[in-house]
Every structure is written in structure tokens, then in C-alpha cells.
Structure 1
Amino acid sequence: MIRPLEYCVDKHHIRTSIDTIDNRIVELLALRKSYIDKGKSLDDEQAEEQPPIRNLNNHYGVLAKKFNLPTEFIQSIFQEIEHYIHQDFIAKGYEQQ
């Protein structure tokens, strides 16, 4: 359970909330990967329909600013995520050409 900060009155409340947040981060990363997997399977079928790839670094920079976090930090996290996903596809033989 994520307890609102104003109701955290001891370290146990803080630890429990952080653990829940960490769990949700990992859960969302797994969900993100599922969407990427699905997107990869649709690439061949819908190649002509797809819009051009957006500038991801700029996108993550906007997200960083939105949540008042360092741009370089957020960009580096997503670079690592993308690197992991790309390596995973290579390892599974999904790399095209």
C-alpha cells in the first residue's frame, strides 16, 4: 500500500510505501515490455501505417521536467530499458534483417 506522505508517521510506513512503489515500477516495466512485444509482432503487418518514430530523448526530457526530475537521469533510465529490450529481442532471434 502506498500511504500518502502526510499519513506516514514512522519509518515502517515509508518502507512499505517504497516497497509498493518499487513493485509497481517492476510491474509496469514488465507491462511495457509486453506492449513492445505486441508492437514488434504488428510491425510487419502495419509497417506502412506506422507514424515516424518520435525523438525519444526529447520525449523523456519532457517527462523529466513534468515530474521535476533531472533530464539526464530519466533519459539514462530509458536508454537502459531500451538497451535491455533490444538485447532481449536479439537473444530471442526477433531482430529483423
Structure 2
Amino acid sequence: MIRPLEYCVNKQHIHDSVDTIDNRIVELLALRKTYIGKGKSLNDEQNGEQNIIRNLDSNYVLLAKRFHLPIVFIQSIFQEIENYINQDFIAKGYEQQ
């Protein structure tokens, strides 16, 4: 459970909230990967829409600014995510051959 910050009165409350946040981050990364996979499978059918999926770089800048985080930090996180997902799809492609 993510306890509202104003109700965190000890380190265990903070620890539990951070653990929940970390779990949600991983859960959302797995969900994101699933959506990207679906998008890639639709790529053949709807080739023009691939630009919509891939035109996310400018979105990272907006996200970083909205949440007051360094742009380079956010871009590097998403670059690592993309590297992982692309590596995974490349590996699966080789397995299917």
C-alpha cells in the first residue's frame, strides 16, 4: 500500500510505500512491453501507425518536465527500456526461425 506521505510516521511506512511503488513500476513495465508487442504485431497490418508508437522521444521531454525530473535521466531510462524490449523481440525472432 502506498501510504500518503503525510501519514508516514516511521521508516517502515516509508519502506512499505517504496516497495509498493517499485512493484507497480515493474508491473507497468511488463504491461508496457505487452502493449509494444501488440503494436509491433499490428505493424504489418497498419504500417503507417508505427510512427505514432515510435514518436515518443518528445513525450519523454514533456514527462520529465511535468514531474520535475532531469530530461537526460528520463530519456536514459526509456532508452534502456527500449533496448531491453528490442533485444527481447530480436531474440524471439531468432527463436522462431
User: What TM-score do the two structures reach when normalised by structure 1?
Assistant: 0.89
Identical columns (%): 74
Q: Which amino acid aligns with 2:65?
A: K
- Which 4+ residue blocks in structure 1 deviate beyond 4 angstroms? none
Q: Which amino acid aligns with 1:58?
A: S
Count of matched residue pairs: 93
Post-superposition CA distance 1:36-78 (Å, at most 9, x none): 1111111101114x16346433210110000001110000000
Q: CA RMSD in A?
A: 1.5
Which ranges of structure 2 fall in alignment gaps of 5 or more residues?
Answer: none
Q: Distance in 1 between matches of 2:93 and 2:50?
A: 25
Post-superposition CA distance 1:2-36 (Å, at most 9, x none): 00000000000000000000000000000000001
Write out aligned runs for 1:1-97 (5 A).
Answer: 1-48=1-48, 50=49, 52-53=51-52, 55-93=55-93
Could you tell me how far 1:91 is from its partner in structure 2? 0.4
Q: Distance in 1 between matches of 2:37 and 2:93?
A: 13
Q: Distance in 2 between matches of 1:51 and 1:89?
A: 16
